[in-house]
Chain A
Amino acid sequence: MWADSRWIAAPDGWLEARATAAGALDRLELLEPGLPPAGASRFEGVFSVVVNDRSKKLRRLPTLYFKKAPVFTGRDDIEVVRMTTSVAQTVMRSVTSPTYLVTACEIHRRLGLYARDVHNRSSYRLKLARVGGRFSENPFVTFAGKGTFECHEWGAFSPEFVVLGLPAPDDVVRTTGALLVFLIATRRIRKLSSSELHELVGALGTLEALSADDPELLATTIGG
């Protein structure tokens, strides 16, 4: 299935980027020539680009996978490779910056953290977008301490809510306290330190997370 494989040198090892078409990763920045040196730590299949296969009748839009999760579907291969560079840069920075696989979002002019799914074109996000929801393009946020998170679109912000995907068929399910902090902490890229966990409790311990199977109900609830 993989026709192209390249390697990116991160501070703690080599990360593989691969694609389903030869040459698809030519535009990817950060690439190192050749293979990782013998004995170096290697992490295979960290970024996978499934490009548009024009030979097939049923075409699928090109998609970037982070490990096994689809995170970004774009209009064309160029857009997806550009996002692969951006995501790879974020993952490399996560050695020194606390990074979480959680998307910054804005619903009814309130900024929050979206942790229901990680895919920019999930059906739930598309439905939220129809009622005015906006999402950061990059699937990660950085924890900046003192209760704030950072993303490219909105800079540093203090989240007012968190969106989770707990089962909630009939009504809004609210999650607070240790369970909320735990669910966000498990989205940390790389190891969490005890001091960061303590700060995370300070940032999220008083917030409320909302889950609702109906995106319109979720948006209405956030809008108050």
Chain B
Amino acid sequence: MVRRMRSVPDLHVEWIEDEAIVLDTHSGELHYLNPPAALVYALIAESGYPNTLQALERHRADLYALHDALDELIEGMVDKGLLLDD
């Protein structure tokens, strides 16, 4: 199944070097993204899920581990209301 992820609108993101803080301006909820999560979030927000996957696959030899880690990160961000899975 091909995912069609995109970032949720109306979120305010503050980037500090390779980390981020995301504020849901409606609920006031705050989220901290560590460097791997912030990288995935930024890539998906900028260029969508298929391009993000391709970009990451170019740098990782172990694709099964990459897909597992990516799925876990993305599920976490969907659960927290940072990404939408269309």
Q: A interface vs B, CB < 8 Å?
A: 177-179, 181-182, 185-186, 190-194, 197-198, 201, 205
A198 to B12, CA, bound (A): 9
Answer yes or no: B28 CB below 8 A from chain A CBs: yes
A166 to B29, CA, bound (A): 22
A178-B14, A197-B12, A198-B14 are contacts. A191–B28 as well, Cβ < 8 Å? yes
Q: How many A-B residue pairs have CB under 8 A?
A: 46
CB of A199, distance to nearest CB on chain B (Å) = 10
Q: Is A192 a contact partner of B23 (Cβ separation < 8 A)?
A: yes
Cβ 8 A contact of B21, one of A190, A191, A193, A197: A197
Closest to B11 in A: A194
A190 to B21, CA, bound (A): 18
- Which residues of the partner chain A approach B84 to less than 8 Å between Cβ atoms? none
Closest to B12 in A: A194
Q: Is A201 a contact partner of B16 (Cβ separation < 8 A)?
A: yes
Q: Is B14 a contact partner of A177 (Cβ separation < 8 A)?
A: no
A contact face: mostly helix, strand, loop, or mixed: helix
A123 to B10, CA, bound (A): 43
A148 to B38, CA, bound (A): 28
Known interface pairs A178-B19, A178-B20, A179-B34; 5 further A-B residue pairs with C-beta atoms within 8 A, sorted by A's residue number? A178-B16, A178-B21, A186-B30, A193-B25, A197-B21
The 4 closest A-B pairs by CB, nearest first: A178-B19, A194-B12, A191-B28, A182-B32
Q: Is A177 a contact partner of B30 (Cβ separation < 8 A)?
A: no
B residues contacting the other copy or chain, number (CB 8 A)? 17
Q: Is B30 a contact partner of A179 (Cβ separation < 8 A)?
A: no
- Which residues of the partner chain B approach A178 to less than 8 Å between Cβ atoms? 14-17, 19-21, 32-33, 38
CB of B6, distance to nearest CB on chain A (Å) = 20
Closest to A190 in B: B28
- Which residues of the partner chain A approach B34 to less than 8 Å between Cβ atoms? 179
A88 to B28, CA, bound (A): 22
Closest to B14 in A: A201
A178 to B14, CA, bound (A): 8
Q: Is A177 a contact partner of B17 (Cβ separation < 8 A)?
A: yes
CB of A181, distance to nearest CB on chain B (Å) = 6
CB of A172, distance to nearest CB on chain B (Å) = 21
